[in-house]
Amino acid sequence: MSVLDSVEVSLHLYGRLERTLEELTPITASLSDAGGGEASDGEDDGPDFTTIANMIIVDGGIDAGYVMDRMELWEIPAILNAIQKRKQEKLEYTRLFTWMSMLPHLAQDSVCSPEKLLPFPWEVESEDVGQAIFDQLKDAKIVVADK
């Protein structure tokens, strides 16, 4: 009897795999929304490992030998989140300097912030959620019970 035949070991390994796949779910959804994953045989089941490995190697600049041979599944979400964060920061940096270069050419009364000039999707959603909560609280009738 080998270690892999043990019920406890296999349940532990399947649990780790399930947690890793749950962490990958938002990432695979965002990749398929952005067109990063190519469907194979007409099925739309998100990107395959080769597509994800390509993103990590090319966009992340991580050694291909490490990605293909030594990297474990639990590392993928953290690396992809870091790559996404780096892309967001680069876009925000570019937006700031674009706004600064446009500043002398704008009228003084129309000078706004870089966020208003070009809002990104990750900023618009957070403002909408915050505004919706504020509107709900503003219109809510708060009753304080006497004790």
Give the span between the Cα atoms of 138 and 133, in whole angstroms.
8
Give the pLDDT score at 17: 72
Q: Chunked in runs of 10, what are the mean pLDDT values of the chain (147 residues)?
A: 73 76 62 51 66 86 89 86 90 88 77 77 66 63 57
Give the pLDDT score at 138: 62
Give the pLDDT score at 40: 46
Give the span between the Cα atoms of 26 and 52, in whole angstroms.
13
Q: Which amino acid is at 54?
A: N
Q: What is the pTM of this model?
A: 0.54
Give the pLDDT score at 37: 47
3-state DSSP assignment of residue 106 = coil
